[in-house]
Amino acid sequence: MDAPCRFRAFGRRSPAFCLPVLALLAVLALCPPLEVARAQDQAPQAVQFLHASTADLPEMLRRGQVRVLVTPSRTNFYMAPDGSFQGLEHDLTLLLEKSLNKGRKKGEPKVSVLFVPVLLDELIPALLEGRGDIAAAGLTITPAREQLVAFTEPCFRDVRDVLVTRTDTPPVKSRYDLSGRVLHVAAGSSHAEHLAMLGRDFERRGLPPMTVVEADHVLDVENLLEMLSAGLVDNVLADEHVARLWAGVLPGLAVFPQAQATHGGRIAWAVRKDNPLLLAAANTALRQSAKRQTALFHKNFPASQAGMRWIQNPFLSPKTAQYVPEFKRRSEEYGFDWLHLMAQGFQESGLDNSVRSHMGAVGVMQVLPSTGAALGFRDIRPAPENIHAGTRYMGHLRDQEIGPDGLDEEQRFYFALASYNAGPARIRRLRQQARVQGLDPNVWFGSVERAALQSGLQATVAYVRNVRAYAIAYSLSYDIHQKRVRAAGR
C-alpha cells in the first residue's frame, strides 16, 4: 500500500548553491508584481520598532499609536510602486484607526496605526514581547495559538482549502479527484497538514496517494498561483478567498471549491490576553465595517494590480530569449548562475531594455550611466553592454564590498543583491545591526533581512526574495524548455 501522502520539498537550495533545474517548484515572498523601487529612492516610512510595551489600550491612546504587526504579502500587506502600503489587512486595520478616533475629544491628538513588518515566524513572539499590539496577518485560529493569544471575532469564517488549477484542465468534481495529483503548497502553511489528513482518508478508501510539494520558505501562495498561471506547476492548494481574489487577476486560473481539503477555518487578528480593552475596540471596528471593507477591497483589487509584471516562461518569447546568450556568457565570466542574473534582470526591468527609471537608470539591469562609466563602459544603452555592466557591478559588490569573510557563495550573492538595491554602505550597517541583536550577520534570509525590515527597508527585503523566486521559476521554465527541445529533436 502506498503512503497516504508523498511529501517533497520544492525549490530548496542545493549544497552547491547553483539552483538545480528542478522538475518541481520553489520560492518568494514578498512579491512579484511588487515592482520594488530602489530603496534609496523611497520616502521614509514609519515602520520601525518602538520600545517594547505590553500595556493595554489606554496607554496606546496616550501615546497616540497602535502598533500593528504584519507580514509582507501581496494579498494582505505590500508596498505599491508609489511607496504606499496596500493590502487587505492594511485596509482593515485602518478601520480600527478610524473607530478609535471617533471618540477623541476636541484637542486630543489623533490615534494612528503604525505598521511593523516582521517575518511570519516572529509574529506571535513579537506580539507577546510587546513589539506590537495587534497581529494582523491572515492568522488562522488554532487551539495551539489560542493557548498563547486572544483572537478577535473572525475577519473570515468557514475558510476552505480549495484546489486551484488552470481553465484548460478537466473540471474537478470532488475532493477525491485530488487522488494521484501533485499538489503544491506554501511552506509553513496549514495546507500540508490538511492534505496529510485527507491522504489518510484516501488510504482507507484504497485511492492512489497525492504527492504534496512544499515550496521554498520564501515562496508564498501568491507566488505559487503566479507560477500556476504561467504553466510552471499544475495544482495549488489555497484558501478560497485568496484563490478567488487572484483568479480575478492572473489569467487562466480555475478555482474548484468542491475539491476542498478542509473547511470551517477562521481567520482573525490576535492580541495579548491581558489587553481586553484593545480586544473589545478591535471587535467593535471589525463588527462595524469589516464586511463592507472586504467587499470593497475585492472589487478594487484587479485595478490595483493593473500594470504589474507577471512571470512568464522567458524561453518562449524571442524578445526575452535573445538575452540568454549574454546572460550565460557574462555569468560564466564573473562566476554567477545565469538564471539568477536573468531573474535579477526581470526584477529590474521585466527584461525590457527600453526601460528608463525616473532616476536615470537604463536598460535590462537598470544601470545608472555614472555607474557604467565608473565600471569602464562608454555606452550602457545597448542590451549586451547593459547586461555586462550589471553583471560586472554585481561582481564588484560581491568581491569588493561584501568580501569572502565568513560567507559562503550563496550568501555573498544575496548580500550583493541587497547592495545592488540599497547600496553597500547601508547593507554593512544592517549586518552590524544584526550582530548587535544577536542575529547572524553572515546570513541574509531570516537574519539580516529582519534588521532590514526593522529599518524600514521593505523594498530591499522584497527585492532579494523576488529575485530568488524568479530564479526558481526560471529554473522550472528552462527545464520545460529543454524537455520540449529534446522532444522536438526525436
39-156+267-304 and 318-488, same CATH topology: no
Helices then strands, counting H and E runs in the chain, come out as 17, 12
> Is the model's pLDDT at 435 over the cut of 90?
yes
The three grid cell numbers given for residue 206, joined into one nine-digit string = 484504497
pLDDT band at 20 (very low <50, low <70, confident <90, very high): very low
CATH architecture assigned to 318-488: Orthogonal Bundle (1.10)
pLDDT tens, position by position, 257-296: 999 888 888 999 999 999 999 999 999 999 988 888 898 8
CATH architecture assigned to 39-156+267-304: 3-Layer(aba) Sandwich (3.40)
SS3 of residue 451 by DSSP: helix
pLDDT tens, position by position, 217-268: 778 899 999 999 988 899 999 999 999 999 999 999 999 999 988 888 899 9
H helical segments located in 273-323: 276-304, 318-321
**Distance between CA atoms of residues 434 and 477, nearest Å:** 36
Homologous superfamily in CATH for domain 5-24+157-265: Periplasmic binding protein-like II (3.40.190.10)
Look at 17-26, 277-286, 453-462, 463-472 and tell me which has the smallest mean pLDDT: 17-26
Q: Which is more confidently placed, 191 or 83? A: 191
Q: Which is more confidently placed, 132 or 33? A: 132
- Tell me the pLDDT of the chain averaged across its residues: 86
Q: Mean of the pLDDT values across residues 389-410?
A: 91
Q: Mean of the pLDDT values across residues 6-29?
A: 39
pLDDT tens, position by position, 304-347: 887 777 887 788 888 899 999 999 999 999 999 999 999 999 99
Q: Which of 353, 368, 336 is nearest to 40 (CA)?
A: 368
pLDDT of residue 68: 97
Which DSSP category does 73 fall into?
Answer: B
pLDDT tens, position by position, 145-188: 999 999 999 999 999 999 999 999 888 999 999 999 999 998 87
Q: Which is more confidently placed, 315 or 58? A: 58
Chain centroid to CA 261: how far?
24
Per-domain residue ranges for the chain? 5-24+157-265, 39-156+267-304, 318-488
**Distance between CA atoms of residues 335 and 426, nearest Å:** 24
pLDDT of residue 470: 92
